[in-house]
Amino acid sequence: LTATQRRDMMEVVEERYGRGSTMITSQLPITAWHDVIGEPTFADAILDRIVHNAYRIELEGQSMRKTMAKMDDEMPQT
């Protein structure tokens, strides 16, 4: 993330922390977030607030796009 993006993300996370639910979706594993955020101090602060009291749902399996494309290919054309 750029410096501006890090500050913006920190601001949003800080505003939401302890006040309400925040849903974050990502295709990246949580172990890669620190590197993506960049600056270690910001990354620690952001991830601390996101991961603390979080419910994590990790999806496994093939992409739904792949499944849907296969179904489309198998449907008879009219």
* pLDDT tens for each residue of 37-65: 999 999 999 999 988 888 888 888 887 88
Q: Crossing angle of helices 40-51/3-16, nearest 10°?
A: 30
Distance, C-alpha 71 to centroid of its chain? 28
Average pLDDT, whole number, for the chain? 87
What does pTM read for this prediction? Answer: 0.67
Backbone angles phi, psi at 66, to 5 degrees: -65, -45
Residue numbers of the domain that contains 16: 3-74
- SS3 label, residue 1: coil
Tally of domains within the chain: 1
